[in-house]
């Protein structure tokens, strides 16, 4: 069932966004954008987890957006970060209307299907919301607190 994207707590927040093609170069831009944004926001300690979450969400979007785009060339996805004092909200939007499919971890030897399990493990919560007239946004909320 779709959920609404969590809203900032009302405290001061900042955001950053990137529109990117689903190509090898596009995914390199996603990782660079993530690194650079977290560096500017003094969240280098959250880089590894955030990059893994962003990579999994972007890979899922690319996998499912390509058939939905229906046009020649690589489809685009939209990546956004919203930072409030205690959380980083990561969103990835694509043109596909179908909800993400979460499959609880099965065999550790499976080659595909573990991406949302990783997102679930690394984020405090995650979900998705439709984006009328077409598409969806999948989001994950991560703590900004340094590891203990």
The pLDDT tens digits of the residues spanning 54-93 come to: 999 998 888 876 555 555 566 789 999 999 989 999 999 9
Q: What is the pLDDT of residue 104?
A: 72
- CA 59, 61, 67, 70 dihedral sign is negative
Cα dihedral: 16, 37, 119, 82 (round 10): -30
Proportion of the chain above pLDDT 70, given as a percent: 79
Is 14-143 a domain of CATH 3.10.20.600?
no
DSSP state of 126: E
Q: Is the pLDDT of residue 17 over 80?
A: yes
Q: Is the model more confident about 107 or about 52?
A: 52
| Global confidence as pTM | 0.83
């Amino acid at each position: 069932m779709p959920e609404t994207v969590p809203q900032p707590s009302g405290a001061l927040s900042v955001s950053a966004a990137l529109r990117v093609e689903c190509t090898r170069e596009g995914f390199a831009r996603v990782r660079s954008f993530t690194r650079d944004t977290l560096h500017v926001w003094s969240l280098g300690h959250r880089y590894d987890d955030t990059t893994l979450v962003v990579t999994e969400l972007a890979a899922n979007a690319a996998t499912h957006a390509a058939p939905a785009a229906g046009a020649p060339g690589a489809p685009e996805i939209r990546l956004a970060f919203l930072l409030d004092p205690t959380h980083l909200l990561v969103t990835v939007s694509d043109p596909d209307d179908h909800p993400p499919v979460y499959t609880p971890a099965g065999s550790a030897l499976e080659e595909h299907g573990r991406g949302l399990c990783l997102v679930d493990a690394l984020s405090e919560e995650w979900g998705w919301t439709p984006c009328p007239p077409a598409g969806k946004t999948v989001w994950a909320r991560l703590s900004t607190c340094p590891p203990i």
